[in-house]
Amino acid sequence: MYNPKDIINVIAGNVRKTKNPFGIPKFMCNRWWKESDVPSSGEALLFTGLMYQFVPYIEKSTAYLQRFEDTSLAGFVRYAGYMPSYLSGIGLSLMTSGQEKKKFNDILNNIAKILSASKVDFYYKPNLDDYSGILLYDLGDQEGFEKHAMFVAEKLKNAGIKKLITVDPHTTYAMKVLYPKYTGISFEVKTYFELVSLNSKNGHRKVTLHDPCFYGRYLELSDVPEKLLSGMGIECMPVRNSGQFTRCCGGPAESISPKLSSEVAGRRLEELNATGDPLIAMCPICLANLIKEGAEVEDLSTLLVRYI
């Protein structure tokens, strides 16, 4: 296991200097919308929080952390904070597979297509879409989180934003629960699947839905995608430890201990595989972590877009 303080200092330093935990310039990591006909004006702002965009970089970084965990070189991670953030971020971006970037960009494009097919009045402005800072909160850097959250919240407020459509549980929890508490600025926050209305009845299949911790335990939204899929003829098979009692995928621990993260993911995957039906995730971190453990799993949006 790495020294948590070393990891927190590196991540917090990057967020402070570049507004994201990897130091990657936003124009390099947020490019999905360039291949989409997503509207530029509407009632609610599609706010990705850059989480799906970050996953390929998370996986590349974790691969290096895993290689050196519990070795004599583990202590050198603290010196990463002395490198210029943008320089290391650009390097990480160049080393990350274009195929992996495209895979997660495609998920965001699918979500935009689903919202359009559901007649949702939404729009997207890349300059207003920022990282929420949730990892700082998760790792215990409350002061750093509050400063970053205030920057993002005031930026949205000054742009006249009142309604947000989120796409992942981490950003949803941050914007819906944490931002009002720590910044005093509130928005009307809905996940994209709360707004989806697809009339297809051609599902006729069974799937295994993994409930992310934030959706299941804290936001109590697990029943929403289940009802949505049920209405499309897709049955969600019961899973041991789901809803408010769901089990973690292990992803939140991977920056501190890839080994521990893998152990947690393995236990969760055993529960999910017990149904014998295809696995569906609703979170970019869960999706990536389960794939890393060898799971055949796809994102909820990938399933939904087939029935437009």
- 253 and 261 Cβ atoms separated by less than 8 Å: yes
DSSP 60-90: HHHHHHHHHTTSTTGGGGGGGGGS-HHHHHH
Q: What is the pLDDT of residue 200?
A: 79
- The 10 Å CB-count burial string (b at 16+, else e) for 54-80 is bbbbbbbbbeebbeebeeeeeeebeeb
Given a cut of 80, whether residue 74 has pLDDT beyond it is no
The arithmetic mean of pLDDT across residues 227-232, rounded, is 93
- 51 and 282 Cβ atoms separated by less than 8 Å: no
Given a cut of 70, whether residue 113 has pLDDT beyond it is yes
Q: How many residues does the chain have?
A: 308
**pTM score:** 0.91
Helix (H) or strand (E) holding 190: strand 188-191
> Which SS3 state, helix, strand or coil, does residue 281 take?
strand
Given a cut of 60, whether residue 98 has pLDDT beyond it is yes
Name the least confident of 50-59, 128-137, 142-151, 247-256.
247-256
pLDDT band for position 213 (cuts 50, 70, 90): very high
CA distances 186 to 88, 107, 154, 241, Å, are: 34, 27, 10, 32
Q: What is the pLDDT of residue 7?
A: 73
pLDDT tens digits, residue range 136-177?
Answer: 998 889 999 999 999 999 999 999 999 999 999 999 999 999
Q: What is the pLDDT of residue 3?
A: 66
Q: What is the pLDDT of residue 67?
A: 58
Say which residue, 194 or 138, is predicted with more confidence. 194
Q: What is the pLDDT of residue 79?
A: 36
Kindly report the average pLDDT of the chain as a whole number.
89
Q: What is the pLDDT of residue 84?
A: 43
Given a cut of 50, whether residue 63 has pLDDT beyond it is yes
Which of 262, 249, 255, 228 shows the shortest CA–CA distance to 134?
Answer: 255
